[in-house]
């Protein structure tokens, strides 16, 4: 799909996805490359399942060069926007925003693929809190450093800048536009998986997710807790 493709008016979820083979490299101290790939695939499918259960969304767009991600997205009715190169989370999200912005009446919900606990109620809470455009709604990570969801009307309103410390810069950038951002805090939006500590937090409470099931069935949970004991 080209970046000039037609998007119907409404709210579109945009999920940037980088190369599966390089996913979650900060977990290399505990997981093999194959395990990180399987973990990321499970998290992506959890996110796609949630988004596909949200009638308020007009559609889902994956920004990726990864064919496996494109095929997985098709199972959930997602469209794929193909990057010319793997340029990173910010560039992929910006490409999605600009592509949507070429069509009138669109909004963007930017969501990463590593939020295995996100559920339809979380998405609905973001949408209900979001005002009429121009408007920006943010969901912070559990440490209030990262931005785990960004809802923008119009889609390209906010200059995106993701990384370990994106939440406060996004707040500042919103206010620089004279748009007071709405902040929504929910457990399902707060836990993104980047470090072993995040895996421990995820495993603390059993959930009916593919991610939790994978961590248990693969034995990663036992290995993680055994290492913590030593």
Lowest model confidence (mean pLDDT) among 19-23, 43-47, 181-185, 216-220: 19-23
Residue 215's CATH number: 3.90.550.10
Q: Which of 223, 151, 227, 148 is nearest to 188 (CA)?
A: 148
Dist CA 119 CA 153 (whole Å): 22
Give the CA diameter of the chain.
57
What predicted TM-score, i.e. pTM, was given to this entire model?
0.94
Whether 93 is covered by a domain: the verdict is yes
Whether 122 is covered by a domain: the verdict is yes
DSSP track, 81-124: E--SS---HHHHHHHHHHHHHTSTTEEEEE--S--TT--HHHHH
Q: By residue range, what is the domain housing residue 201?
A: 10-229
Whether 173 is covered by a domain: the verdict is yes
Computed over every residue of the chain, the mean pLDDT equals 94
Dist CA 13 CA 230 (whole Å): 42
Q: What is the pLDDT of residue 1?
A: 53
Whether 70 is covered by a domain: the verdict is yes
Q: What is the pLDDT of residues 27-57, one digit of tens each?
A: 999 999 999 999 999 999 999 999 999 999 9
Q: What is the pLDDT of residues 103-159, one digit of tens each?
A: 888 999 999 999 999 999 999 999 999 988 899 999 999 999 999 999 999 999 999
Q: How far is CA 154 from the centre of its chain?
A: 19
Structural contact between residues 138 and 167, judged by C-beta atoms closer than 8 angstroms: yes
Phi, psi of 210 (to 5 degrees): -65, -35
Checking if the pLDDT of 100 tops 90, the result is: yes
**Domains contained in the chain, number:** 1
Dist CA 175 CA 204 (whole Å): 37
Q: What is the pLDDT of residue 36?
A: 96
Whether 1 is covered by a domain: the verdict is no
Checking if the pLDDT of 228 tops 80, the result is: no
Q: Which residue has the tokens 């939440």?
A: 167
Whether 3 is covered by a domain: the verdict is no
Sign of CA dihedral 186, 192, 193, 198: negative
Dist CA 228 CA 171 (whole Å): 36
Q: Which residue has the tokens 């990180």?
A: 36
Dist CA 146 CA 206 (whole Å): 25
Beta bridge pairs of residue 14: 61, 110
């Amino acid at each position: 799909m080209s970046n000039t493709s037609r998007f119907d008016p409404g709210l579109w979820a945009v999920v940037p996805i980088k190369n599966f083979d390089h996913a979650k490299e900060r977990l290399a101290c505990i997981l093999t490359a194959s395990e990180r790939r399987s973990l990321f695939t499970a998290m992506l499918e959890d996110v796609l399942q949630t988004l596909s259960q949200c009638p308020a969304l007009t559609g889902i767009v994956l920004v990726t060069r990864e064919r496996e991600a494109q095929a997985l997205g098709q199972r959930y009715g997602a469209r794929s926007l193909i990057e010319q190169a793997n340029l990173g989370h910010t560039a992929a999200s910006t490409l999605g925003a600009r592509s949507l912005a070429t069509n009138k009446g669109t909004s963007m919900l930017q969501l990463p693929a590593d939020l295995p606990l996100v559920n339809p109620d979380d998405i609905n809470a973001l949408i209900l809190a979001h005002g009429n455009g121009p408007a920006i709604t943010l969901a912070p990570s559990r440490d209030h450093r990262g931005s785990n969801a960004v809802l923008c009307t119009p889609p390209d309103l906010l200059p995106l800048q993701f990384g370990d410390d994106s939440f406060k810069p996004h707040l500042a950038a919103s206010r620089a536009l004279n748009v007071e951002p709405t902040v929504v805090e929910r457990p399902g939006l707060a836990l993104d998986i980047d470090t072993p500590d995040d895996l421990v937090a995820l495993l603390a409470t059993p959930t009916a997710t593919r991610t939790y099931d994978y961590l248990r069935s693969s034995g990663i949970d036992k290995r993680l807790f055994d290492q913590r004991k030593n």
